[in-house]
């Protein structure tokens, strides 16, 4: 079973910008979010993905991801998503031996900047970046699926 | 936008068996069924599919379907589906210029035999088979997503 283990942190300041390796505009929305699973549609640059995630068990969850045609993804976001899509730019930022995903949100979540690092195991060591602020792993408000329905600007 | 137009009928008797062109064991379950969309996982013979369908508008609905690895499908049915999978054998049955899908259900839906024909437009003519009984297009009880939760044997 594919499993995703990640830790998430708020981001303080702009110190991360000097370590950016790439950036991608992401639009994503959710076809479902129930007790068993979330179903996400994501358009990332020229590519698109359909992703099924199981429920969180601590920092772990099962994840199944499939590439799909971008035009399908755009149509599903427009027609079938349960709320307006999330709009963000994802920066890939190196820190020590890890690449972090740092998301600068726009639209209804403007002002929120959040970073996550994916780990091979729950106890894998990693270097904490200078710009990493408060850890929000497991805080439901910061799940993208919840940011879609209860955006940061309305908190 | 891909759109599926189909009409569904109950099946009377066994007259259809002489026109069977192929048969496939199908196991399917649902990751979601909400106001916007249903998300279905299907294992059909050696293949597997992830299918997103929009809400019905008469006999039409949008549909997006993607081949996925069978092992993913089996794991998702086991781990993430909202209810026990539907188990059925689908027979491909020719009648006039159309191929019908005729489903003989097992398990909790044993006793139910249902056939559907897919049409290119809502007014496309088709030959009605001898074995076609009452039309159930649009009757929610016969949607597979509802048969998963409220099986035929419990009606």
pLDDT of residue A56: 66
pLDDT of residue B62: 87
Tell me the nearest-neighbour CA distance from B48 into chain A, angstroms. 13
Residues of B in contact with A82 (CB under 8 A): 34-36
Domains along chain A with CATH numbers:
3-154 (2.40.320.10)
Whether ipTM > 0.90 holds is: no
Residues of A in contact with B75 (CB under 8 A): 1, 62, 64
3-state secondary structure chain A: CCEEEEEEEEECCCHHHHHEEEEEEEEEEEEEECCCEEEEEEEECCEEEEEEEECCECCEEEEEEEECCHHHHHHHHHHCCCCCCEEEEEEEEEECCEEEEEEEECHHHCCCEEEEEECCCCCCCCCCCCCEEEECCCCHHHCHHHHHHCCHHHC
**How would you write the pLDDT of chain A (155 residues) with one tens digit per residue?**
556 789 999 999 999 999 999 999 999 999 998 888 999 999 999 999 999 998 766 666 789 999 999 999 999 999 999 888 999 999 999 999 999 999 999 999 999 999 999 999 888 999 999 999 999 998 999 999 899 999 999 99
Residues of A in contact with B72 (CB under 8 A): 64
Is A79 an interface residue toward B (CB < 8 Å)? yes
pLDDT of residue A35: 84
pLDDT of residue B150: 94
Which helix H or strand E contains B73, and what residues bound it? helix B70-79
Q: What is the pTM of this model?
A: 0.80
Mutate which: A36, A40, A55, vs B, most B CBs within 10 A:
A36
Specify the higher pLDDT residue, B149 or B105. Answer: B105
């Amino acid at each position: 079973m594919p499993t995703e283990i990640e830790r998430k942190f708020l981001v303080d300041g702009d110190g991360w910008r000097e370590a950016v390796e790439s950036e991608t505009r992401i639009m994503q929305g959710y076809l479902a979010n129930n007790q068993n699973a979330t179903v996400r549609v994501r358009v990332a640059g020229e590519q698109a993905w359909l992703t099924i995630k199981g429920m969180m068990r601590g920092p772990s969850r099962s994840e199944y991801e499939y590439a799909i045609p971008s035009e399908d993804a755009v149509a599903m976001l427009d027609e079938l998503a349960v709320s307006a899509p999330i709009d963000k730019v994802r920066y890939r930022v190196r820190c020590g031996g890890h690449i972090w995903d740092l998301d600068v949100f726009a639209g209804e979540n403007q002002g929120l900047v959040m970073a996550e690092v994916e780990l091979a195991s729950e106890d894998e060591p990693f270097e904490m970046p200078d710009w990493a602020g408060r850890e929000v792993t497991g805080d439901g408000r910061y799940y993208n699926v919840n940011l879609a329905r209860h955006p940061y600007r309305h908190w």
